Amino acid sequence: MKHFLRAVTQFFVFLYCKFLWRGLKFVVRKFTGRCELQRICYNNKHGARRTLKIESSLRYSKNGLLQSALSVHPDKVEKTIDDIMSLKKINPDTNPQLSISLQASLLQIVGYRNLVMEVEKLRREPYDCENPEHEDMLMKLWKELRADTPLTGRISKQWCEIGFQGNDPKTDFRGMGLLGLHNLLYFAEHDKATALQMLNDSLQPKHNEIDKAEWEQKNLDKAIGYSFAIVGINITDLTHALLVSGALKTHLYNVAPEMPSLLQFQQTFCYLMQEFHRFWIEEDPSDIMEFNRVRSKFHRRILRQLKNPDMALCPHFSASDLHLVNL
């Protein structure tokens, strides 16, 4: 019976989408004198609320020009808007704001697509210890986080001091490739004070259960519960998943005036790093074995926030303004 009802429901949804909705759009256009794109632009302020509706309208259009607008090159956006205005028989002289609004939204749409490709390219590029640029980035990361402590060697247990798992960090970058290193270095360079505070917090004995002098003689795994660099790579994975799934559109369409950039992706990563740090402390896990549970719960919370079309995770990002919990 359940399967039958589901099939009937799907059939009526199909009918609605295929015939009734298109008929309703035709009637509304005749009544208002405006096409769907006009109604969206005039009835929604700039940002995710408008751009998501325009994106949906173009994607489900029967017209090839409108569908292809979603994959146009950024340099062709202006001409594409002119073609759409011509197709819809809209006079640009009497509707000047419409072309401006459509252009801004279409730039966001194609910019998001390009950002996904740029981020994916970094993720797929493996760390290469024979590449001087890769090695230079890694050394910069150490200097930003351990400026007063010289590194005794490229292969060294010292890497554990900033949260890597072993003597050679390259093995930890396998999942996220260069993207993980780029994000960690961006965080350390552009909000050094916060990154250092998070690193220091992660190395403190949990709840002061033991004397610090005694703790310092023990393994670093007895810290607050996570390793800074490994968490950075994990949060890179989470930020990447939000981007690729499209969930991050809400945030980026609200903070990027036109094309979302790698810079805004990295700023979002920094924000999520700090929010995860807060969340980890609030959850108060007993040990690192609870990391996946806490991460999944944090992921679900961010997804709920991003369902609000007016949501901007960090509307005017300045990592230094997002103060951490003082442990």
Report pLDDT for 323: 38
Most confident segment among 4-8, 166-170, 313-317: 166-170
Report pLDDT for 225: 64
Angle (nearest 5°) at CA 299 between 294 and 305: 130
Report pLDDT for 307: 95
**Which residues contact residue 177 at a Cβ distance below 8 angstroms, ignoring those fewer than 6 apart?**
122, 123, 124, 125, 126, 127
Share of the chain above pLDDT 70, in %: 79
Q: Which is more confidently placed, 315 or 93?
A: 93
Give yes or no for residue 320 having a pLDDT over 90.
Answer: no
Most confident segment among 11-20, 274-283, 311-320: 274-283
Report pLDDT for 284: 85
Cα 9 from chain centre: 35
pTM, rounded to two decimals: 0.83
Residue type, 199: L
- How would you label 221-255 residue by residue, b for 16+ Cβ within 10 Å and e otherwise? ebbbbbbbbbbbbbbbbbbbebbeeebbbbbbbbb
Report pLDDT for 219: 45
Note the pLDDT tens digit of each residue in 243-280: 999 999 999 999 998 899 999 999 999 999 999 999 99
Can you read off the two tokens belonging to residue 160?
Answer: 């554990």
Give yes or no for residue 89 having a pLDDT over 60.
Answer: yes
- DSSP label at residue 16: I
Distance between CA 220 and CA 157 in Å, rounded? 11
Distance between CA 314 and CA 267 in Å, rounded? 8
Can you read off the two tokens belonging to residue 206?
Answer: 């949990």
Average model confidence (pLDDT) for the chain? 84
Report pLDDT for 303: 97
Give yes or no for residue 325 having a pLDDT over 50.
Answer: no
Give yes or no for residue 196 having a pLDDT over 90.
Answer: yes
Using pLDDT thresholds of 50, 70 and 90, give the confidence band for residue 217: very low
Distance between CA 6 and CA 8 in Å, rounded? 5
Report pLDDT for 9: 67
Give yes or no for residue 33 having a pLDDT over 70.
Answer: no
Report pLDDT for 29: 45
Report pLDDT for 322: 40
Report pLDDT for 17: 52
Report pLDDT for 95: 83
Give yes or no for residue 19 having a pLDDT over 70.
Answer: no
DSSP string over 76-113? GHHHHHHHHHHHTT--TTT-HHHHHHHHHHHHHHHHHH
Residue listed under structure tokens 């991003």: 306
**Which residues contact residue 91 at a Cβ distance below 8 angstroms, ignoring those fewer than 6 apart?**
85
Can you read off the two tokens belonging to residue 291?
Answer: 């990391």
